[in-house]
A and B are shown apart, each in its own frame.
Chain A
């Protein structure tokens, strides 16, 4: 390949290739996250979820996509047509652009910016313009209210989430995604464990930023019908939808990189080899897991009611088997390739675990009211985040002064933040308790 392409273009080839892969795969991935959401929701709600299209609804996302593309595209009469057309594009473009700095495994990154995190935050915040413009251009009260809510919410929670991230930046000393992961490897602990409150604040902030329940006020179905998306339909609507799920993956990616050790496998500093080979025990894990899924699908296949479903189930098994083979084969490949493939596996696994947490929260909690949302953001999360950041600063000084370990030095910080959190929560509670007492 090298001799076909002029050397001056060579550095661009791989990034462009990656970009194409992301743009091509992401909509599909978003579709399957929706399927996962529906399946998880169904499981928690004692029902089955999509079962008709493909075995266990595996082809549902494709059917949904086709339906959305074929739907009539309605633009309200008095809408601002240009803005109405432009707004979803803004949302989706910004969501996709943010991927350029995200490192999915040590090898798979479009651009390793030294301000990577800052870039992602800046770009994904721009996506809010799509929502505000869309809400305004629709010329509907529901949309307008949704857009205004969204803007206010983003401003509040971006601050809190940003402060949550700063605690990690202090520990890692870098904004580059790769360096942050490297720092976690060097210090021997994922930052999620050393600064749990930073992680917690970011978790809450990221749910709010992506407009997911219980912070889904901009599109609160039971109040604002669909919020800023009320007047959108068909393809434009699916662009918003894509942007929402792309943003979910982004925040999950950030959380994974910063708090969950990025592409590091669990026990990254533990190197016990399988006797007689150069393969580490833990590196064999991904292959075994996917092999397990493949065998399970194969076992399910004969029980499927319809022939086509049996076939698709077998195909799924074959696919998983293929992945397992790749993961196993990577063990014998040069270390760089091995790291790339397994890193991507672990990264995706953590991203999905994080998204699962999103879904779990969504199906468990009722929705906040707008003033409660603001109170939670400004009176609880932001003070807590500030205390946490100061605590981390103190911990770093302690570490340098007394040569404490990276975990030990942060324990006082965590305890202090916990104390403040309880204080703040208590401060919030009396109103409710007084009324309960009066009621009983």
Chain B
């Protein structure tokens, strides 16, 4: 490529790590419209041949000002908005928000509500991981697993639909508990799904886990060691794959997680393959939690007595849960009125995505898509 053409390409692009180009380097602009940037992520890659010499993520294409909206809504009115952040794991978002506000109010949801919340959230985790698995495999070039994953995800969405009428942005929980009692057959549906799912997950593993090409494409790609991961604030499966055995469900239990047995899968290397293994194992553990929870749902009320108008006493609270993608935190400041003074969402995708530059350095273009996939971002949450 001629020098003249190189300069032409970079004119108008101003960034620190991508402006200075070596003789054989080109800038490749990936996204915001690209098959494997999972929405509208834009990655500017400085390439030396096919090797990545530097990268920069450009985000914000899906920014909707969720935090500003919160300041103009009452506490209950804002609850549906959080579903639109990580829209593939809306139930988890709702759980985090509702629990944060409950903490701010100084109440707690009744036991029955907490168990139902746990079941739905774990189902949502499976659904989110299934979507990740399908798209990640698709990015790496395996065309088939995505359809199997969606087949199973559909079963989960059907349970959501039967429970609250919505499939994607569910708004399943209310501040103080649940709005709806579980439907007849909820337990059976969940059990049936969990029992079928055990074999299904083995099927996915037959397609991928020992597949030579899959292993070759993921082993040693996008390595993130534990120290870097902690320094970069990375949480969730990505952190666990780097060898840090830390899961908020165990470390600071919320909902009903303290009642159930489950393992926290970890790996050592922190490469793409490890993250794959960790997430696969997490789906099995979620299934385990669901089965335990559904066996024994306590009876009783589903809603705490909190009144119609919520006026939390002035003050602030930070509450976080283990969302499918990592630590999802809500920092809510109240000034004693019916509207939150400030709602800050600590989105796991946004902060995990920061690790991308580190992971991608020295990788090939093909690895870049693998790395974007393995971080498991949802742009709705990155940009809010």
Instruction: Give yes or no for direct A-B contact (beta carbon below 8 Å).
Output: yes
Known: A141-B28, A222-B138, A439-B269. A363 touches B143 (CB 8 A): yes
CB distance from B31 to the nearest CB of A (A): 10
> Which residues from A are CB-within-8-Å of B27?
141
Least CB distance, B69 to chain A, in whole angstroms? 34
Across the interface, A435 reaches (CB within 8 A) one of B142, B220, B368, B369, namely B220
Range of interface residues on A (Cβ < 8 Å): 35 or more
* CB-defined contacts of B220 to chain A, threshold 8 Å: 431, 435
- Knowing A370-B50, A438-B268 are in contact, say whether A223-B148 is a contact too (CB < 8 A): no
Contact of A141 among B26, B215, B219, B368 (CB under 8 A): B26
- Interchain CA distance A362-B267 in the complex, whole Å: 31
Of the candidates B27, B50, B364, the one having the most CB atoms from chain A within 10 angstroms of its own CB is: B50
- Note all chain A residues with C-beta closer than 8 A to B165: none
Partner of B147, one of A46, A144, A221: A46
Quick check: is A145 within 8 A (CB to CB) of the other chain?
yes
Interface flags for A253-290 (1: CB within 8 Å of B; 0: not) read 00000000000000000000000000000000000000
Q: In whole angstroms, what is the CA distance A431 to B269 when docked?
A: 14
A8 contacts partner chain B, Cβ-Cβ < 8 Å: no
The yes or no answer to B352 lying at the interface (CB within 8 A) is no
> A220 to B20, alpha carbons, bound, how many Å?
28
Flag if B144 contacts A45 (CB, 8 Å). yes
User: A435 with B269: in contact, given A214-B213, A222-B141, A366-B211 (CB under 8 Å)?
Assistant: yes
Q: Which listed residue (B140, B268, B274) contacts A366, Cβ 8 A?
A: B140
Q: Which of A225, A367, A432 has a CB less than 8 Å from the CB of B140?
A: A367
Q: Complex: how many Å from CA A225 to CA B50?
A: 15
Shortest A34–chain B CB gap in Å is 15
B215 close to A432 (CB less than 8 A)? yes
Is the pair A365, B211 in contact by a Cβ cutoff of 8 Å? Answer: yes
Q: Give A217 to B366 CA distance when docked, in angstroms.
A: 9
Residues of B within 8 Å of A, CB-based: how many? 44
Complex Cα distance A216/B1, Å? Answer: 24
Given A47-B147, A222-B35, A367 contacting B217 (CB threshold 8 A): yes
B73 within 8 Å of A by Cβ?
no
- The verdict on B137 contacting chain A, using a C-beta distance below 8 Å, is yes
B102 touches A (CB below 8 Å): no
* CB atoms of B141 and A363 under 8 A apart: no
Tell which of B36, B138, B147, B216 touches A369, judged by Cβ atoms closer than 8 Å.
Answer: B216
A29: Cβ under 8 A from any B Cβ: no
Q: Which of B262-288 contact A (CB under 8 A)?
A: 267-269, 271, 273-274, 277
Interface presence of B381 (CB below 8 A): no
Bound-state CA distance A364–B274 (Å) is: 22
Q: Which residues of A are found within 8 Å of B36, using beta-carbon distances?
A: 222-223
Q: Report whether A367 and B141 are in contact in the complex, using a CB–CB cutoff of 8 Å.
A: yes
| Interface status of B367 (Cβ within 8 A of chain A) | yes
Q: Is B214 interfacial (CB 8 A cutoff)?
A: yes
**Bound CA–CA A44/B217 (angstroms):** 23
Complex Cα distance, B273 from A368, in Å, reads: 15
* A72 interface contact, C-beta 8 A: no
B307 CB → nearest A CB, Å = 49
Q: Which residues of B contact A367 (CB under 8 A)?
A: 140-142, 213, 217, 366
Interface residue? A79 (CB, 8 A): no
Q: Which residues of B contact A77 (CB under 8 A)?
A: none
Chain A 412-440 interface 0/1 with B at a Cβ cutoff of 8 Å (1 = within): 00000000000000000001100110110
Interface centre among A142, A223, A432, A438 (most CB of B within 10 A): A223
A365 touches B142 (CB 8 A): yes
Q: How far does the alpha carbon of A367 sit from the alpha carbon of B215 in the complex, in Å?
A: 11
The residues in B between 126 and 175 inclusive whose CB is less than 8 angstroms from any CB of A are 137-144, 147-148, 151
A225 touches B35 (CB 8 A): yes
Q: Would you call A41 an interface residue if the criterion is a C-beta within 8 Å of the partner chain's C-beta atoms?
A: yes
Q: Is A372 an interface residue (CB 8 A)?
A: yes
Q: Is the interface of A mostly helix, strand, loop or mixed?
A: helix
Residues of chain B contacted by A366 (CB below 8 angstroms):
137, 140-142, 208, 211, 213-214, 217
Q: Residue A145 contacts which of B50, B147, B274 (CB distance < 8 angstroms)?
A: B50
Query: How far does the Cβ of A69 sit from chain B's closest Cβ, in whole Å?
Result: 25
Q: How far is the CA of A435 from the CA of B274 in the complex (A)?
A: 10
CB-CB contacts below 8 Å: A119-162 with B: 141-142, 144-145
Contact pick for B139, options A144, A222, A225, CB 8 Å: A222
A369 touches B366 (CB 8 A): yes
- Assess the B364–A371 pair: CB atoms within 8 A: yes
Is A213 an interface position by the 8 A CB rule? Answer: yes
Partner of A365, one of B35, B151, B213: B213
- In the complex the two chains form, what is the Cα distance from A45 to B143 in whole Å? 9
Tell whether B344 is near chain A: CB-to-CB under 8 Å: no
Residues of A within 8 A of B144 (CB): 44-45, 363-364
| B26, B28, B29, B141 pick with most chain A CB within 10 angstroms | B141
How far apart are A420's CB and chain B's nearest CB, in angstroms?
Answer: 18
Given the known A-B contacts A46-B151, A369-B216, A439-B274, are A223 and B365 also in contact in the complex, defined by CB atoms under 8 Å?
yes
What residues of chain B lie closer than 8 Å to A370, measured between beta carbons?
A: 50, 364, 366
Alpha-carbon separation in the docked complex, A408 to B50 (Å): 48
In A44-100, the 8 Å CB interface with B consists of 44-47
CB distance from A394 to the nearest CB of B (A): 31
Alpha-carbon gap, A220 to B138, bound state (A): 11
Q: Does A325 contact B (CB under 8 A)?
A: no
* CB contact list, A345-367 vs B, under 8 A: 362-367
CA distance A399 to B326 in the complex (A): 67
Q: Tell me, yes or no, whether B34 is within 8 Å of chain A by CB.
A: yes
Taking the closest CB of chain A, its distance from the CB of B142, in whole angstroms, is 4
For B141, the chain A residues whose CB sits under 8 A away are 213-214, 216, 220, 222, 365-368
What residues of chain A lie closer than 8 Å to B267, measured between beta carbons? 439
> Roughly how many angstroms separate A213 CA and B1 CA in the complex, as a whole number?
28
- Chain B residue, CB-CB nearest to A139: B5
Known contacts A46-B151, A370-B50, A432-B216; A222 and B369 CB within 8 A of each other: yes
Asked if A224 lies at the interface with its beta carbon under 8 angstroms from chain B, I say: yes
Cβ-defined contact, A438 with B269, below 8 A: yes
Q: B11-42: which have CB < 8 Å to A? A: 26-29, 34-36
- A residues 365-394 near B (Cβ < 8 Å) are 365-372
Instruction: Determine the chain B residues whose CB is within 8 A of the CB of A44 once the complex forms.
Output: 144
Task: Report whether B216 and A368 are in contact in the complex, using a CB–CB cutoff of 8 Å.
Answer: yes
Contacts of A439 in B (CB 8 A): 267-269, 273-274, 277
- Measured between alpha carbons, how far is A37 from B220 in the docked complex, in Å? 34
**Which chain B positions have C-beta within 8 A of A214?**
141, 213
6 other A-B residue contacts (CB within 8 Å) besides A46-B148, A222-B141, A362-B143 = A141-B28, A223-B365, A366-B141, A366-B213, A368-B216, A372-B217
A: residues with CB less than 8 A from B are 41, 44-47, 141-142, 144-145, 213-214, 216-217, 220-225, 362-372, 431-432, 435-436, 438-439
The 8 nearest A-B residue pairs measured at CB: A367-B141, A45-B147, A222-B36, A366-B142, A366-B141, A369-B366, A222-B139, A366-B140
Task: Sample 8 A-B pairs with CB under 8 A, ordered by A number.
Answer: A41-B143, A214-B141, A217-B366, A366-B211, A367-B142, A368-B217, A369-B367, A439-B274
